Chain A
Amino acid sequence: MAGRTQIPTKNSALIAMIADEDTVTGFLLAGVGNVDLRRKTNYLIVDSKTTVKAIEDAFKEFTAREDIAVVLISQYIASMIRFLVDSYNKPVPAILEIPSKDHPYDPAHDSVLSRVRYLFSAESVASGRR
């Protein structure tokens, strides 16, 4: 999968964020905030009023943009759009699920680890033994 897809070389690429207010504020303090001429930002602050559709649209937009290298998404927000996150398989931008203040990181829900868990499942071991 990784070998066949073209990997674009990017300089000065951005990091996109879909997270709660404190997480986004913190990373903006670290200098990753970007607002382009169309007033489009590289972040979405998710609160209680943010709809799942808005999160989905932001995820689709950030993963389609060519100037974004990494998309950071709080794991609990990723769980709201789990189907979309799990079905994403491009190498760039990389999707990283991060913990949030109220929801610690759970490896069981990480989409990357779910993908590779197959190697440790009973089915894969049994098929290897046949």
Chain B
Amino acid sequence: MEDDDRCSSSNPGGIGQEEEDEDGKVLRFLDSLDSYLTLLDALSSTLRQGWFELASARHSMGSSRISSVLLDQKVQSAATTFQVRKSIDGSPSESHPSFAISKWASSRNGKCSFRELEVSRVQKTSKNSELRHRGSSNFYDTTEEHDLTINASSTISDSDVQKERSKSLSVFGTLVSPKLRGAQVSFETALDAIVEIANIRSSMLSAFTQLQQEMKKDLG
């Protein structure tokens, strides 16, 4: 205790700063843990909606028309893909992956265009952690949507997206139930949630690692 007093009197700013950094890390970890659970809850609701719509479509179209047997085994590339980048929080040694999604990317005519959803709060390299706003659980409040284009002429159009969606639906026949289209939208929404969950998970594990290192330092 006396040593602490002497230390604090000789270097009050340093220890205060250290405690603040540690508190910041704890807050960052707890915030990302809370976000992770909230997003999983939102994902569960979205998936439930999707399963319900799929069941409704199966009811109206028939079980044989919506079955895994119909899934295309022809060589095909995924229309919706992910990008992985390195994200740095604080020190350069503590990097973790960040994920983004490219939905319905059309590369048939040589043009490549995509839309990215980024969780701006997760990728910020802020030193001061802030308490998350405890409002609605709508995770879209924390996302920023960027439209990125490779060149001026390659903007994604709604008609391109609709073509890709129709191609995906055509596995189940030419005329499909509106419920199947609804299920498609629900699962697309679920993919957005999955990207956010992947980023939050990455951030949470990074914060956890930093906290473990702090604890080892304190004990050692």
Please give the residue numbers on chain A whose beta carbons come within 8 Å of chain B beta carbons, in ascending order. Answer: 1-4, 7-15, 21-37, 39, 41-42, 45, 69-70, 72, 91-92, 94, 96, 98-99, 101, 104-105, 107, 112-113, 115-116, 119, 124, 127-128, 130
Contact = CB atoms under 8 A, between A and B. Distances in A.
Nearest to B197: A96
A3 B68 contact: no
B212 to A, nearest CB: 8
B191 A30 contact: yes
7 contacts: A12-B81, A22-B54, A29-B168, A30-B168, A31-B79, A35-B74, A105-B44
Contacts of B86: 7, 9
Contact of B51 (A26, A32, A41, A45): A26
B94 to A, nearest CB: 4
Chain B binding surface SS class: helix
Interface residues of B, number: 70
A9 B83 CA distance: 8
A7 B92 CA distance: 13
A128 B218 contact: yes
B156 interface: no
A108 B219 CA distance: 28
Contacts of A14: 78, 81-82
A29 B68 contact: no
B117 interface: no
Contact of B83 (A3, A10, A105): A10
B169 A29 contact: yes
B102 interface: yes
Contact of A116 (B47, B54, B204): B204
Interface stretch (B118-126, B128-136, B182-190): B182-190
B205 interface: yes
Given A7-B95, A27-B190, A119-B208, A32 B78 contact: yes
Contact of B191 (A21, A32, A94): A32
B97 A29 contact: no
A37 B76 CA distance: 9
A124 B102 CA distance: 41
B72 A33 contact: yes
A112 B201 contact: yes
A9 B85 contact: yes
